[in-house]
Structure 1
Amino acid sequence: MYEVDDNRYCYPNSTVLKNKADLRTQDELAKFETLMITQRSDEPLPVARHFTVKHYRAVHTHLFQDVYTWAGRLRTVRISKAGSMFCYPENIGEQLRLLFASLSLENEFRDLEQESFAQKAAHFLADLNAVHPFREGNGRTQTVYLSVIANQAGHPLDLERMHPNKMMSAMIASFHGDEEPLVAVILELMRRRS
Protein backbone atom coordinates (compact mmCIF):
# COMPACT_ATOMS: atom_id res chain seq x y z
CA MET A 1 0.00 0.00 0.00
CA TYR A 2 1.30 3.46 -0.92
CA GLU A 3 1.70 6.33 1.48
CA VAL A 4 0.26 9.45 -0.17
CA ASP A 5 0.44 13.12 0.73
CA ASP A 6 -2.83 13.89 -1.09
CA ASN A 7 -5.69 11.43 -1.55
CA ARG A 8 -7.49 13.14 -4.45
CA TYR A 9 -7.45 9.79 -6.26
CA CYS A 10 -9.34 8.07 -3.44
CA TYR A 11 -12.90 8.07 -2.20
CA PRO A 12 -13.49 10.47 0.73
CA ASN A 13 -12.25 9.12 4.07
CA SER A 14 -10.83 6.07 2.31
CA THR A 15 -7.63 4.71 0.77
CA VAL A 16 -9.59 2.94 -1.99
CA LEU A 17 -8.88 4.45 -5.39
CA LYS A 18 -11.85 5.90 -7.28
CA ASN A 19 -12.68 3.43 -10.00
CA LYS A 20 -15.07 2.98 -12.91
CA ALA A 21 -16.96 0.16 -11.17
CA ASP A 22 -17.44 2.37 -8.07
CA LEU A 23 -16.12 -0.39 -5.82
CA ARG A 24 -15.52 0.88 -2.29
CA THR A 25 -13.39 -1.85 -0.68
CA GLN A 26 -9.78 -2.65 -1.48
CA ASP A 27 -10.56 -6.36 -1.81
CA GLU A 28 -13.32 -5.79 -4.37
CA LEU A 29 -11.17 -3.34 -6.32
CA ALA A 30 -8.18 -5.71 -6.35
CA LYS A 31 -10.30 -8.55 -7.74
CA PHE A 32 -11.88 -6.28 -10.37
CA GLU A 33 -8.52 -4.84 -11.35
CA THR A 34 -6.99 -8.31 -11.75
CA LEU A 35 -9.90 -9.49 -13.88
CA MET A 36 -9.85 -6.45 -16.17
CA ILE A 37 -6.08 -6.43 -16.59
CA THR A 38 -6.00 -10.15 -17.29
CA GLN A 39 -8.55 -9.66 -20.05
CA ARG A 40 -6.69 -6.68 -21.53
CA SER A 41 -3.37 -8.56 -21.33
CA ASP A 42 -4.77 -11.14 -23.74
CA GLU A 43 -5.36 -8.42 -26.35
CA PRO A 44 -2.68 -6.94 -28.61
CA LEU A 45 -0.81 -4.08 -26.98
CA PRO A 46 -0.48 -0.67 -28.65
CA VAL A 47 2.20 -0.80 -31.33
CA ALA A 48 4.90 1.79 -31.91
CA ARG A 49 7.97 1.91 -34.13
CA HIS A 50 10.08 3.05 -31.18
CA PHE A 51 9.76 3.03 -27.43
CA THR A 52 8.64 6.43 -26.21
CA VAL A 53 6.97 8.00 -23.21
CA LYS A 54 3.79 8.26 -25.27
CA HIS A 55 3.91 4.54 -26.06
CA TYR A 56 4.57 3.64 -22.41
CA ARG A 57 1.57 5.70 -21.35
CA ALA A 58 -0.53 4.00 -24.06
CA VAL A 59 0.36 0.59 -22.60
CA HIS A 60 -0.78 1.73 -19.13
CA THR A 61 -3.99 3.09 -20.69
CA HIS A 62 -4.56 -0.22 -22.47
CA LEU A 63 -4.11 -2.28 -19.31
CA PHE A 64 -6.10 -0.06 -16.91
CA GLN A 65 -8.70 1.60 -19.16
CA ASP A 66 -11.57 -0.41 -17.68
CA VAL A 67 -10.58 0.37 -14.10
CA TYR A 68 -9.48 4.02 -13.79
CA THR A 69 -10.48 7.21 -15.61
CA TRP A 70 -6.89 8.43 -15.28
CA ALA A 71 -5.30 5.38 -16.94
CA GLY A 72 -2.21 6.50 -18.86
CA ARG A 73 -2.04 9.89 -17.14
CA LEU A 74 0.98 10.87 -15.09
CA ARG A 75 0.39 11.01 -11.37
CA THR A 76 -0.09 14.37 -9.68
CA VAL A 77 0.57 13.44 -6.04
CA ARG A 78 3.65 12.43 -4.11
CA ILE A 79 3.76 8.76 -3.17
CA SER A 80 6.07 6.49 -1.25
CA LYS A 81 6.15 2.85 -0.28
CA ALA A 82 7.73 1.43 2.87
CA GLY A 83 9.38 4.80 3.47
CA SER A 84 10.89 5.04 -0.04
CA MET A 85 9.79 8.18 -1.89
CA PHE A 86 9.21 7.93 -5.64
CA CYS A 87 9.89 10.74 -8.11
CA TYR A 88 8.00 13.94 -7.26
CA PRO A 89 5.15 14.53 -9.70
CA GLU A 90 6.59 17.84 -10.90
CA ASN A 91 9.66 15.95 -12.18
CA ILE A 92 8.01 12.87 -13.71
CA GLY A 93 7.68 14.22 -17.27
CA GLU A 94 11.31 15.27 -17.52
CA GLN A 95 12.64 12.08 -15.89
CA LEU A 96 10.62 9.92 -18.30
CA ARG A 97 11.85 11.98 -21.26
CA LEU A 98 15.47 11.48 -20.18
CA LEU A 99 14.95 7.76 -19.51
CA PHE A 100 13.37 7.04 -22.88
CA ALA A 101 15.96 9.22 -24.68
CA SER A 102 18.62 7.04 -23.06
CA LEU A 103 16.80 3.90 -24.24
CA SER A 104 16.82 5.30 -27.76
CA LEU A 105 20.55 6.11 -27.58
CA GLU A 106 21.13 2.50 -26.49
CA ASN A 107 19.38 1.30 -29.69
CA GLU A 108 16.55 -0.01 -27.49
CA PHE A 109 18.93 -2.77 -26.29
CA ARG A 110 18.95 -4.51 -29.66
CA ASP A 111 21.91 -6.62 -30.84
CA LEU A 112 23.09 -7.45 -27.34
CA GLU A 113 24.07 -10.78 -25.82
CA GLN A 114 21.77 -12.08 -23.08
CA GLU A 115 23.92 -10.92 -20.16
CA SER A 116 24.36 -7.40 -21.57
CA PHE A 117 20.68 -7.16 -22.37
CA ALA A 118 19.73 -8.26 -18.85
CA GLN A 119 22.05 -5.68 -17.27
CA LYS A 120 20.82 -2.79 -19.39
CA ALA A 121 17.19 -3.84 -19.06
CA ALA A 122 17.54 -4.12 -15.28
CA HIS A 123 19.00 -0.62 -15.07
CA PHE A 124 16.22 0.81 -17.26
CA LEU A 125 13.57 -0.98 -15.20
CA ALA A 126 15.10 0.20 -11.92
CA ASP A 127 15.07 3.81 -13.12
CA LEU A 128 11.53 3.48 -14.47
CA ASN A 129 10.41 2.06 -11.14
CA ALA A 130 12.01 4.97 -9.26
CA VAL A 131 10.01 7.40 -11.40
CA HIS A 132 6.77 5.47 -10.75
CA PRO A 133 4.79 7.68 -13.12
CA PHE A 134 1.28 6.39 -12.40
CA ARG A 135 -0.83 6.49 -9.26
CA GLU A 136 -1.36 2.71 -9.53
CA GLY A 137 -0.30 -0.08 -11.87
CA ASN A 138 3.37 0.77 -12.23
CA GLY A 139 4.74 -2.72 -11.56
CA ARG A 140 2.38 -4.47 -13.94
CA THR A 141 2.99 -1.92 -16.67
CA GLN A 142 6.76 -2.13 -16.17
CA THR A 143 6.73 -5.91 -16.47
CA VAL A 144 4.63 -5.87 -19.63
CA TYR A 145 6.80 -3.15 -21.13
CA LEU A 146 9.99 -5.02 -20.29
CA SER A 147 8.54 -7.99 -22.15
CA VAL A 148 7.85 -5.82 -25.22
CA ILE A 149 11.40 -4.42 -25.14
CA ALA A 150 12.84 -7.93 -24.73
CA ASN A 151 10.82 -9.28 -27.67
CA GLN A 152 12.00 -6.46 -29.93
CA ALA A 153 15.60 -7.04 -28.82
CA GLY A 154 15.41 -10.75 -29.61
CA HIS A 155 15.34 -11.91 -25.99
CA PRO A 156 11.72 -12.92 -25.34
CA LEU A 157 10.71 -13.40 -21.73
CA ASP A 158 8.57 -16.19 -20.36
CA LEU A 159 6.51 -14.17 -17.88
CA GLU A 160 4.59 -17.28 -16.81
CA ARG A 161 7.79 -18.38 -15.07
CA MET A 162 8.05 -15.16 -13.09
CA HIS A 163 7.77 -15.47 -9.31
CA PRO A 164 6.02 -12.26 -8.14
CA ASN A 165 7.71 -12.22 -4.71
CA LYS A 166 11.14 -12.72 -6.24
CA MET A 167 10.47 -9.94 -8.75
CA MET A 168 9.24 -7.63 -5.99
CA SER A 169 12.35 -8.29 -3.88
CA ALA A 170 14.56 -7.63 -6.91
CA MET A 171 12.73 -4.36 -7.64
CA ILE A 172 13.14 -3.23 -4.02
CA ALA A 173 16.84 -4.07 -4.11
CA SER A 174 17.23 -2.13 -7.36
CA PHE A 175 15.51 0.88 -5.80
CA HIS A 176 18.26 0.85 -3.17
CA GLY A 177 21.05 0.55 -5.76
CA ASP A 178 21.54 -3.22 -6.07
CA GLU A 179 20.48 -4.26 -9.57
CA GLU A 180 22.06 -7.73 -9.52
CA PRO A 181 18.93 -9.56 -8.24
CA LEU A 182 16.93 -7.91 -11.04
CA VAL A 183 19.53 -8.94 -13.62
CA ALA A 184 19.23 -12.51 -12.31
CA VAL A 185 15.42 -12.46 -12.57
CA ILE A 186 15.57 -11.19 -16.15
CA LEU A 187 18.14 -13.81 -17.13
CA GLU A 188 15.99 -16.50 -15.54
CA LEU A 189 12.97 -15.35 -17.56
CA MET A 190 15.05 -15.39 -20.77
CA ARG A 191 16.47 -18.90 -20.40
CA ARG A 192 14.75 -21.54 -22.46
CA ARG A 193 13.30 -24.63 -20.84
CA SER A 194 15.40 -27.74 -21.43
Structure 2
Amino acid sequence: MSARSATNFARKPKHSVQLTGRHTIRLGRTIASLIHGFTSARMQMMSKKQPDKPNTWYDFFAPGTDVLRNSLGIEDPQELEDAERILSQARLAVGADTIPRTFDFEHLRTIHLNLFQDVYPDWAGEVRPVGISKGVNFTEPYHIEAYAKDTFRKLAEKDFLQGLPRDAFVIEATELLGHLNAIHPFREGNGRAQREFIRQLADEAGYDFDLSGVTADQNNEASYRSLAYGDDSGLHEIMDMAVKERAAKAA
Protein backbone atom coordinates (compact mmCIF):
# COMPACT_ATOMS: atom_id res chain seq x y z
CA MET A 1 0.00 0.00 0.00
CA SER A 2 1.29 3.47 -0.83
CA ALA A 3 1.57 6.29 1.66
CA ARG A 4 -0.93 9.10 1.37
CA SER A 5 0.06 12.71 0.79
CA ALA A 6 0.19 14.97 3.84
CA THR A 7 -2.93 16.94 4.65
CA ASN A 8 -3.11 20.72 4.24
CA PHE A 9 -5.07 20.98 7.48
CA ALA A 10 -2.03 22.22 9.37
CA ARG A 11 -1.98 25.41 7.37
CA LYS A 12 -5.58 26.36 8.15
CA PRO A 13 -5.88 28.96 10.91
CA LYS A 14 -7.30 27.78 14.22
CA HIS A 15 -8.36 29.54 17.36
CA SER A 16 -5.96 29.70 20.27
CA VAL A 17 -6.42 27.09 22.96
CA GLN A 18 -5.22 27.32 26.52
CA LEU A 19 -4.82 24.50 29.02
CA THR A 20 -5.33 25.89 32.49
CA GLY A 21 -3.67 24.79 35.69
CA ARG A 22 -0.12 24.52 37.01
CA HIS A 23 1.23 23.58 33.61
CA THR A 24 -0.48 26.21 31.48
CA ILE A 25 0.49 26.00 27.82
CA ARG A 26 -0.85 28.42 25.24
CA LEU A 27 -1.25 26.79 21.89
CA GLY A 28 -0.68 28.62 18.63
CA ARG A 29 -3.12 29.67 15.93
CA THR A 30 -2.35 26.74 13.66
CA ILE A 31 -2.07 23.02 14.23
CA ALA A 32 1.61 23.22 13.33
CA SER A 33 2.29 25.83 16.00
CA LEU A 34 0.21 23.78 18.42
CA ILE A 35 2.60 20.90 18.02
CA HIS A 36 5.57 23.24 18.27
CA GLY A 37 4.24 24.62 21.55
CA PHE A 38 3.88 21.20 23.08
CA THR A 39 7.20 20.03 21.72
CA SER A 40 9.01 23.04 23.19
CA ALA A 41 7.50 22.32 26.59
CA ARG A 42 8.45 18.67 26.20
CA MET A 43 12.06 19.55 25.41
CA GLN A 44 12.23 21.71 28.53
CA MET A 45 11.03 18.80 30.62
CA MET A 46 13.39 16.35 28.92
CA SER A 47 16.35 18.61 29.71
CA LYS A 48 15.87 17.40 33.26
CA LYS A 49 16.90 13.88 34.23
CA GLN A 50 14.18 11.45 33.17
CA PRO A 51 13.56 7.91 34.49
CA ASP A 52 14.43 4.92 32.33
CA LYS A 53 11.87 3.41 29.95
CA PRO A 54 9.03 1.92 32.06
CA ASN A 55 9.12 -1.83 32.59
CA THR A 56 6.88 -2.34 35.62
CA TRP A 57 3.37 -1.14 36.47
CA TYR A 58 4.62 1.61 38.78
CA ASP A 59 7.23 2.85 36.29
CA PHE A 60 4.45 4.28 34.15
CA PHE A 61 3.24 6.73 36.79
CA ALA A 62 4.59 10.06 38.01
CA PRO A 63 6.07 9.44 41.48
CA GLY A 64 3.45 9.58 44.22
CA THR A 65 0.54 9.87 41.78
CA ASP A 66 -1.81 7.72 39.74
CA VAL A 67 -1.19 9.91 36.67
CA LEU A 68 0.79 8.51 33.76
CA ARG A 69 4.31 9.88 33.57
CA ASN A 70 4.49 12.28 30.65
CA SER A 71 7.00 14.56 28.99
CA LEU A 72 5.08 17.70 29.97
CA GLY A 73 5.45 16.99 33.67
CA ILE A 74 1.68 17.22 34.18
CA GLU A 75 0.40 15.55 37.35
CA ASP A 76 -3.23 16.64 37.18
CA PRO A 77 -5.35 13.97 35.43
CA GLN A 78 -7.71 16.43 33.73
CA GLU A 79 -4.86 18.56 32.42
CA LEU A 80 -3.16 15.46 31.06
CA GLU A 81 -6.37 14.25 29.44
CA ASP A 82 -6.83 17.63 27.76
CA ALA A 83 -3.23 17.82 26.55
CA GLU A 84 -3.30 14.24 25.30
CA ARG A 85 -6.57 14.75 23.44
CA ILE A 86 -5.57 18.01 21.76
CA LEU A 87 -2.12 16.87 20.77
CA SER A 88 -3.21 13.47 19.44
CA GLN A 89 -5.86 15.21 17.32
CA ALA A 90 -3.20 17.55 16.00
CA ARG A 91 -0.92 14.66 15.09
CA LEU A 92 -3.79 13.01 13.25
CA ALA A 93 -4.26 16.19 11.26
CA VAL A 94 -0.65 16.64 10.20
CA GLY A 95 0.90 13.19 10.19
CA ALA A 96 -1.50 10.26 9.98
CA ASP A 97 -1.81 10.18 6.21
CA THR A 98 1.96 10.15 5.70
CA ILE A 99 2.30 6.76 7.44
CA PRO A 100 2.99 3.88 5.00
CA ARG A 101 -0.15 1.76 4.84
CA THR A 102 1.31 -1.70 5.23
CA PHE A 103 -1.58 -2.84 7.47
CA ASP A 104 0.60 -4.97 9.71
CA PHE A 105 1.57 -4.69 13.38
CA GLU A 106 4.31 -2.20 12.54
CA HIS A 107 1.68 -0.01 10.88
CA LEU A 108 -0.47 0.00 14.04
CA ARG A 109 2.57 0.75 16.19
CA THR A 110 3.55 3.63 13.93
CA ILE A 111 0.06 5.11 14.20
CA HIS A 112 0.31 4.94 18.00
CA LEU A 113 3.76 6.52 17.91
CA ASN A 114 2.47 9.33 15.72
CA LEU A 115 -0.46 10.01 18.05
CA PHE A 116 1.34 9.99 21.38
CA GLN A 117 5.01 10.78 20.71
CA ASP A 118 4.77 14.25 22.24
CA VAL A 119 3.11 13.22 25.50
CA TYR A 120 4.49 9.71 26.09
CA PRO A 121 7.80 9.60 24.16
CA ASP A 122 9.19 6.82 26.36
CA TRP A 123 6.64 4.25 25.22
CA ALA A 124 4.55 5.58 22.33
CA GLY A 125 4.39 2.81 19.75
CA GLU A 126 5.96 0.28 22.13
CA VAL A 127 4.33 -2.99 23.16
CA ARG A 128 3.33 -2.76 26.81
CA PRO A 129 5.37 -4.89 29.25
CA VAL A 130 2.58 -4.98 31.85
CA GLY A 131 -0.89 -6.46 32.10
CA ILE A 132 -3.88 -4.12 31.93
CA SER A 133 -7.63 -4.46 32.35
CA LYS A 134 -10.84 -2.46 32.13
CA GLY A 135 -13.33 -4.66 33.90
CA VAL A 136 -11.77 -7.67 32.18
CA ASN A 137 -8.16 -8.53 31.37
CA PHE A 138 -6.67 -7.76 27.99
CA THR A 139 -4.06 -10.03 26.37
CA GLU A 140 -1.08 -10.74 28.60
CA PRO A 141 2.15 -9.05 27.45
CA TYR A 142 3.93 -12.29 26.55
CA HIS A 143 1.15 -13.21 24.07
CA ILE A 144 0.79 -9.83 22.35
CA GLU A 145 3.36 -10.29 19.57
CA ALA A 146 2.11 -13.76 18.61
CA TYR A 147 -1.57 -12.80 18.66
CA ALA A 148 -0.88 -9.65 16.67
CA LYS A 149 1.15 -11.57 14.10
CA ASP A 150 -1.71 -14.02 13.63
CA THR A 151 -4.31 -11.25 13.37
CA PHE A 152 -2.42 -9.32 10.71
CA ARG A 153 -1.53 -12.50 8.81
CA LYS A 154 -5.25 -13.22 8.46
CA LEU A 155 -5.88 -9.65 7.36
CA ALA A 156 -3.26 -10.02 4.62
CA GLU A 157 -4.82 -13.31 3.52
CA LYS A 158 -8.09 -11.41 3.06
CA ASP A 159 -6.29 -8.90 0.81
CA PHE A 160 -6.73 -6.19 3.43
CA LEU A 161 -10.50 -6.27 2.84
CA GLN A 162 -10.10 -4.73 -0.61
CA GLY A 163 -12.94 -5.07 -3.12
CA LEU A 164 -15.60 -6.05 -0.60
CA PRO A 165 -19.17 -4.77 -0.75
CA ARG A 166 -19.90 -2.38 2.10
CA ASP A 167 -21.82 -4.84 4.29
CA ALA A 168 -19.12 -7.48 3.91
CA PHE A 169 -16.45 -4.91 4.75
CA VAL A 170 -18.37 -3.93 7.90
CA ILE A 171 -18.51 -7.56 9.04
CA GLU A 172 -14.79 -8.14 8.46
CA ALA A 173 -13.78 -4.79 9.99
CA THR A 174 -15.87 -5.61 13.07
CA GLU A 175 -14.06 -8.90 13.53
CA LEU A 176 -10.68 -7.20 13.12
CA LEU A 177 -11.57 -4.48 15.61
CA GLY A 178 -12.65 -7.12 18.11
CA HIS A 179 -9.25 -8.82 17.84
CA LEU A 180 -7.32 -5.55 18.10
CA ASN A 181 -9.36 -4.56 21.14
CA ALA A 182 -8.58 -7.87 22.84
CA ILE A 183 -4.86 -7.57 22.10
CA HIS A 184 -4.70 -3.95 23.38
CA PRO A 185 -0.94 -3.80 22.76
CA PHE A 186 -0.22 -0.38 24.29
CA ARG A 187 -0.29 0.96 27.83
CA GLU A 188 -2.77 3.69 26.86
CA GLY A 189 -4.33 5.08 23.69
CA ASN A 190 -5.30 1.74 22.15
CA GLY A 191 -8.78 2.79 21.05
CA ARG A 192 -7.58 5.85 19.16
CA ALA A 193 -4.84 3.89 17.40
CA GLN A 194 -7.27 1.09 16.49
CA ARG A 195 -9.86 3.47 15.10
CA GLU A 196 -7.29 5.31 12.99
CA PHE A 197 -6.04 1.96 11.66
CA ILE A 198 -9.60 0.99 10.68
CA ARG A 199 -10.15 4.43 9.12
CA GLN A 200 -7.11 3.97 6.91
CA LEU A 201 -8.21 0.43 6.06
CA ALA A 202 -11.64 1.73 5.04
CA ASP A 203 -10.07 4.51 3.01
CA GLU A 204 -7.96 2.04 1.03
CA ALA A 205 -11.08 -0.07 0.44
CA GLY A 206 -12.89 2.96 -0.97
CA TYR A 207 -15.11 3.83 1.98
CA ASP A 208 -15.43 6.87 4.19
CA PHE A 209 -15.20 6.32 7.94
CA ASP A 210 -17.02 8.69 10.30
CA LEU A 211 -17.34 8.07 14.04
CA SER A 212 -18.89 11.43 14.87
CA GLY A 213 -22.23 9.81 15.69
CA VAL A 214 -20.71 7.34 18.18
CA THR A 215 -20.60 8.28 21.86
CA ALA A 216 -17.78 7.38 24.23
CA ASP A 217 -20.19 5.33 26.36
CA GLN A 218 -21.39 3.42 23.32
CA ASN A 219 -17.84 2.65 22.27
CA ASN A 220 -16.76 1.60 25.77
CA GLU A 221 -19.77 -0.67 26.23
CA ALA A 222 -19.27 -2.29 22.83
CA SER A 223 -15.57 -2.86 23.52
CA TYR A 224 -16.30 -4.35 26.94
CA ARG A 225 -18.97 -6.75 25.66
CA SER A 226 -16.69 -7.88 22.84
CA LEU A 227 -13.87 -8.73 25.23
CA ALA A 228 -15.90 -10.06 28.16
CA TYR A 229 -18.54 -12.07 26.30
CA GLY A 230 -17.33 -12.40 22.73
CA ASP A 231 -20.36 -10.34 21.71
CA ASP A 232 -19.38 -8.14 18.77
CA SER A 233 -22.89 -6.84 18.07
CA GLY A 234 -22.06 -3.46 19.60
CA LEU A 235 -18.87 -3.16 17.57
CA HIS A 236 -20.82 -4.14 14.46
CA GLU A 237 -23.36 -1.41 15.15
CA ILE A 238 -20.54 1.13 15.44
CA MET A 239 -18.89 -0.06 12.23
CA ASP A 240 -22.22 -0.01 10.43
CA MET A 241 -22.70 3.62 11.48
CA ALA A 242 -19.16 4.66 10.61
CA VAL A 243 -18.49 2.99 7.25
CA LYS A 244 -20.12 4.95 4.46
CA GLU A 245 -20.18 4.69 0.69
CA ARG A 246 -17.87 7.30 -0.75
CA ALA A 247 -19.69 10.07 -2.55
CA ALA A 248 -18.79 10.37 -6.21
CA LYS A 249 -16.72 13.44 -7.03
CA ALA A 250 -18.33 16.04 -9.23
CA ALA A 251 -17.02 16.10 -12.77
- The TM-score, its normalising length taken from structure 2, stands at 0.71
Looking at structure 1, the residues matched to 160 and 62 of structure 2 have their Cα atoms a distance apart, in angstroms, of 40
> 1:44 maps to what in 2?
95
- The one-letter amino acid paired with 1:54 is E
Of 225, 240, 244, which aligns to 1:173?
225
Give the CA deviation at 1:14: 2.0
Please list, as runs of the form range in 1=range in 2, the aligned pairs for 1:41-190 lying within 5 A after superposition: 41-45=92-96, 46-69=98-121, 70-82=123-135, 84-175=136-227, 176-190=229-243
More displaced stretch, 70-79 vs 36-45: 36-45
- The one-letter amino acid paired with 1:173 is R
- The one-letter amino acid paired with 2:88 is I
Aligned identity (percent) is 32
- State the Cα RMSD in Å: 1.7
Deviation by residue 1:65-120 (Cα, 9 ceiling, x = unmatched): 110021000100111112x0111111111111111111101111111111111111
Q: What is the SS of the residue equivalent to 1:151?
A: helix
Q: What is the SS of the residue equivalent to 1:156?
A: strand
Of 73, 80, 83, which aligns to 1:32?
83
CA contact (8 A) 2:163 2:205 kept: yes
- The one-letter amino acid paired with 1:141 is A
Give the CA deviation at 1:167: 1.9
**Unaligned stretches of 5+ residues in structure 1:** none
**Unaligned stretches of 5+ residues in structure 2:** 1-55, 247-251
Looking at structure 1, the residues matched to 62 and 171 of structure 2 have their Cα atoms a distance apart, in angstroms, of 40
Q: What is the SS of the residue equivalent to 2:58?
A: coil
Looking at structure 1, the residues matched to 149 and 244 of structure 2 have their Cα atoms a distance apart, in angstroms, of 31
Looking at structure 2, the residues matched to 14 and 44 of structure 1 have their Cα atoms a distance apart, in angstroms, of 32
Residues 191, 153 of structure 1: alpha-carbon distance in 2 compared, 3 angstrom cutoff: closer
> 2:27 maps to what in 1?
none
Looking at structure 1, the residues matched to 66 and 186 of structure 2 have their Cα atoms a distance apart, in angstroms, of 16
Give the CA deviation at 1:11: 1.6
More displaced stretch, 183-192 vs 23-32: 183-192
- The one-letter amino acid paired with 1:147 is R
Q: What is the SS of the residue equivalent to 2:59?
A: coil
Compare relative contact order (CA 8 Å, sep 6+) and give the higher one, 1 or 2.
Answer: 1
Looking at structure 2, the residues matched to 91 and 192 of structure 1 have their Cα atoms a distance apart, in angstroms, of 36
- The TM-score, its normalising length taken from structure 1, stands at 0.91
Q: What is the SS of the residue equivalent to 2:133?
A: strand
Give the CA deviation at 1:57: 0.5
More displaced stretch, 119-128 vs 173-182: 173-182
> 2:31 maps to what in 1?
none
Count residues with an aligned counterpart: 188
- The one-letter amino acid paired with 1:27 is Q
Residues 162, 43 of structure 1: alpha-carbon distance in 2 compared, 3 angstrom cutoff: farther
Moved over 3 A (4+): none
Of 11, 21, 33, which aligns to 2:62?
11
- The one-letter amino acid paired with 1:32 is A
Give the CA deviation at 1:32: 0.9
Looking at structure 2, the residues matched to 161 and 38 of structure 1 have their Cα atoms a distance apart, in angstroms, of 17
